[in-house]
Structure formats: structure tokens, C-alpha cells
Amino acid sequence: MSKKLKVRVTDLEEQLKRAVADYHNLESRVEKEIGNFKRSSLLSLVDKLLGVLDDLQRAENNLKDRGLTMAVNQFQEVLASEGIEEIKTDGVNFDPQAMDCVEMGKGKKNIIVKTLLKGYTLNGQVVRPAKVRVGQGGEK
């Protein structure tokens, strides 16, 4: 076999290996991406539903209606059963992973004084960070 041909064969072998490897990599990537896709399509729906929940909770706080409270609780239970949890913010340290600081106010430095909009996680991952007011410190 001439030298040229040998080079060609090695070249082609390399290409074939690459193609097969690419394919295997693609297979695992596709699997991963389907997972991501499922998650992200669920996230976008959850995000929209959370907007409705916010409004229902605002109504609940204003109207103090027992029936409405029951409906809101039911809504929250459904979300919880899908792995959606509220991010705990009361009195904890500000954490940019899970919270978005919208304003500062009186209170201990770096501690959440008020939750302006509840944040949620889906199976431990942040769907929507909580919008919070953080203490500016200084006064006691």
C-alpha cells in the first residue's frame, strides 16, 4: 500500500471514529436535552401560574374570604405535589441565588425584612427568585 493511501486510510479511520463518537455523544446529549426541555416547558407554565397565584393571594389578603383561602390553599397543594416549594425568606440572610433585592429598608443589615413577592423552587432549583426588602442596618 502506498504511503499516500495509508495516510488516507488513517484519515478516514479517524473520521469514522469521530462520526461514531459524535453519534454516541449526540445520543446522550439528546437524552439530556429532552430532560431540559421537559423541565423548561414545565417551568414556563409554572411561572405563568405563579403570577395567577400572586394575584389570588393579594385578593385573599384584601378580602379575607374563607372560601377564597380554601381555593388558594388547594392551588398551593397542587403546586407542592409537583415539587414546587416556596422559598423561605422570613428573617434569613439575603441570598442572591434565591432572592432578588428590590429595595432596602429599616432593619438588621443583610436580613430580609419583608417579602414583596414570594419565590419558588422546583425540585430544589429556583423557578422564580423571591423579591425582597433587605435591612440596611445602622439603626439598632
- Residues binding another protein (CB under 8 A): 15, 18-19, 22, 36, 40, 43, 55, 58-59, 61-62, 94, 96-97, 99-104, 110, 116, 126, 129, 131, 134
Q: Least distance in Å: CB of 34 to another protein?
A: 15
DSSP strands (E only) in 17-124 = 84-86, 99-105, 112-117, 120-122
Q: Least distance in Å: CB of 18 to another protein?
A: 7
Cα 33 to Cα 29, 41, 43, 53, 114: the distances in Å are 6, 12, 15, 29, 38
Cβ distance to another protein smaller for residue 64 or 140: 64
Q: Least distance in Å: CB of 113 to another protein?
A: 12
